[in-house]
Amino acid sequence: MSFAWAKQYEPKSAFTKWIDEKLPFPRLVYNAVGAGYPVPRNLNYMWNFGVLAGFCLMIQIITGVVLAMHYAANATVAFGTVEHIMRNVNYGWMLRYAHANGASFFFIVIYLHIFRGFFYSSYKAPREMIWLLGVVIFLLMMATAFMGYVLPWGQMSFWGAQVITGLFGAIPLVGEPLQIWLLGGFAPDNAALNRFFSLHFLLPFVIAGVVILHIWALHIPGSSNPTGVEVKSESDTVPFHPYYTSKDGFGLGVFLILFTAMVFFLPNALGHPDNYIEANPLSTPALIVPEWYFYPFYAILRAFTGDLTIPFTGIVLIPAKLLGVIGMFGSILVWFILPWLDKSPVRSGHYRPLFRKFFWFGLVPTMAALFYLGGTHAEEPYIMLSQFFTAYYFLHFLVILPIISQIEVPKPLPFSITEGVLGKAATTEAPRAGTVDGGDAGTLPDGSLQPAE
Amino acid sequence: MADMSGASTPAGATDMLDGADGVRRRDWIHIAALSTAGVGGASLLFPLVSQMAPSADVLAQSTSEVDVSAIEPGQAIKTTFRKQPLFVRRLTPKEIEEANAVDVGSLRDPQTLAERTLVGSENLLVTMGVCTHLGCVPLGAAAGEDRGDFGGYFCPCHGSHYDTAGRIRKGPAPKNLSVPEYAFKTDTVIRIG
């Protein structure tokens, strides 16, 4: 599960020895996030976000369990119990704001985590499974966040539930019965609210389970790194503790400063005022949009305005409504095949000049634009812009990336992580405690230049 | 690199050392960082614990007003105070006599009737309707209910007998029925809490 030079856990006291024989949990922790897990020495701050995401999940579970002690999932009182939490419960306002902003920060952290994955091609072999599990976690997060947003039973909650379950209504034949089944009625009401509460409570623990698989899968090949060159010798790694516990600890401090600043000074900046109006099934808010973290996918959903028809016959193959749903889900599902779309053997964007151009001037502005467009009114020029950027989004993954990986001439990679960090001269001078010393290293094949498969 | 454990300073980094006694400048950072994290983490427990305490709306219910003018001697009413039953009884002269005839020193929880009522209205007994044993509601407030061996209240759960002053006389309960803080708001209305 780890490199040969990983330090072994050695219980010192009689008690820890006893524990180690009966249930080697301290050993597990030691090997997972302790000194027994060697990590590439050159990780930059983009590698903080995995730990931060785990921390966000903990914030959400702790504050969520507490909020559930005061909340009632009943359509007649739900809105009132949220106000009760805000006004009556001791520190209820703080816990609820921490939970609501915690969701936003969870997504900020996750998007930066995914951004890291895109730029450094963390999805490539041998780490495909980590990536696939990550996409599963992201989908579960989206479902959880959506259902959580319904619980306050405000106007945005209600109409969010109406619109999102309406997506399933687009599916041919079974769509409408499916939507009614999902809601337990013809419109969002008590039945829907109750099941959303139940599932909103359950799913975070399912996420925690998949996170464990995600970390398990990570620990088999070990972390990637900014050069994309695989670890070759002990000089390429440092123990997770104390090197990355302290680096992650610093990142955590910065995260907490930003998080608490939002919770205490701008608690509603990322929310919608309409959700402080109780749900009214007879009146839709003027601008109905999801929370900001769903904007890109909402923009893609709204980009499909015309039916797919056979030209000149007027036969509708796929109606616009279904196209939008396919587009929205497809925009995330395409990530599942990403490891097989980008076949370049070079991982890091630093050594891929052509990829880097399309990344910074193609994908990044596209995502930024979709983030913006998802929050706008459904009118021109926003619809046209959404269509343009949606088209580029799919083009990037399905066409541009495969072509780049075929035609690109990557820059020369450093022989090893140590060489990448310290330069060629330092590689041989650096003292080595491992079995592979600087002299022998030059004769070893560079595994990172092998094809990703 | 020279030392992978991270537990000690690399040999070359002599500037890290403050003295020959092995105290490093970095030790200060460790102590400061871990203390800050520790205090911060521990202070988070405060709201998490506090949120389970009674909320503002529960505390706002902590006074009740009762009109006692209609209660005839020998009659009791059941009302509520902080979502718990409250007994208000107008004692008959005979009941007062019985209560005062008891040797206070012989009681499990020694109190005179005067100590359990307000000056000027010794015939008005206001007690919680909560048995001091394990919290059941004693019988005796409503007409026709078993008032126990001492003519006051009787708790059917585990057989505690209270006398006409609501004092524990027999059975497992350790204390007299508790008398909440109350005062006359007007001539006929008392305010509890």
User: Hey, CA dihedral for A166, A168, A171, A176, is it positive or negative?
Assistant: negative
Same domain, B89 and B137: yes
Query: What pLDDT score does A445 carry?
Result: 44
Contact A62 B47 (CB under 8 A): no
The residue of chain A nearest to residue B49, with distances taken between CA atoms, is A90
User: Which of A136-150, A283-297, A385-399 bottoms out in mean pLDDT, i.e. has the lowest?
Assistant: A283-297
Structure letter (DSSP) for residue B15: G
Q: Give the pLDDT confidence of A336-358 residue by residue, as tens digits.
A: 999 999 999 999 999 999 999 99
Residue A313's pLDDT is: 78
Q: Tell me if residue A247 is catalytic.
A: yes
Which one is predicted more confidently, B179 or A380?
Answer: B179
Active site (catalytic) residues of B: 158
A88 contacts in B (CB within 8 Å)?
Answer: 55-58
- The verdict on B71 and B88 lying in the same domain is yes
Q: What distance in Å separates residue A205's CA from the closest CA in chain B?
A: 20
Residues in chain A: 453
CB neighbours of A85 closer than 8 A, spacing ≥ 6? A67, A70, A71, A92, A93, A95, A96
> CA-to-CA distance for A234 and A40, rounded, in angstroms?
9
Average pLDDT over residues B109-133: 92
Residue A248 annotated among the catalytic residues of the structure: yes
Residue B170 pairs in a beta bridge with B161
Q: What is the mean pLDDT of residues A138-153?
A: 96
Residues forming beta bridges with residue A74, ordered by sequence position: none
Q: Tell me if the domain spanning A37-269 has CATH number 1.10.287.110.
A: no
Same domain, B48 and B132: no
Q: Which domain holds residue B25?
A: 1-53
What residue type is A22 in one-letter code? Answer: K
Interval A389-437: pLDDT, tens? 999 999 999 999 999 999 999 999 999 998 888 887 655 544 444 443 3
Q: Tell me the C-alpha distance between A247 and A43, whole Å.
A: 10
Q: What is the pLDDT of residues A219-257, one digit of tens each?
A: 999 999 999 999 999 999 999 998 999 999 999 999 999
* CA angle at A162 for the pair A157 and A165, rounded to the nearest 5°: 115
- Give the mean model confidence (pLDDT) for residues A290-307: 90
Summarize chain A as % helix, strand, coil (round to 5). Answer: 65, 5, 30
The last residue of one of the domains, among B12, B28, B53, is B53
B150 and B93 in a single domain? The answer is yes
Domain boundary among B53, B80, B96: B53
Domain spans, chain A: 37-269, 302-341+353-409
Q: Estimate to the nearest angstrom the gap between the alpha carbon of B132 and the chain centroid.
A: 11
Euclidean distance between CA atoms A93 and B50, whole angstroms? 13
Look-up: residue for tokens 């909320």? B55
Its ipTM equals 0.77
B144 vs B140: CA distance, rounded Å:
8
pLDDT at A93 over 70: yes
* Residues B45 and B69 placed together within one structural domain of the fold: no
Q: How far is it, in rounded angstroms, from Cα B115 to Cα B104? A: 11
Note whether B33 and B65 are same-domain residues: no
Does the structure show a pLDDT above 70 at A4? yes
Same domain, B173 and B112: yes
* The predicted structure's pLDDT at residue A117: 96
Q: What is the pLDDT of residue B60?
A: 84
Q: Are the beta carbons of B127 and B118 closer than 8 angstroms?
A: no
The CATH number that applies at residue B98 is 2.102.10.10
B140 and B82 share one domain: yes
Q: Which of A223, A344, A405, A448 is catalytic?
A: A223
Residues of A in contact with B38 (CB under 8 A): none
In chain B, how many domains are there?
Answer: 2
**First-last CA distance in chain B:** 70
pLDDT digits (tens, 9 = 90+) for B79-96: 999 889 999 999 999 999
Containing B189, the helix (H) or strand (E) segment is strand B189-192
pLDDT at residue A423 in the model: 80
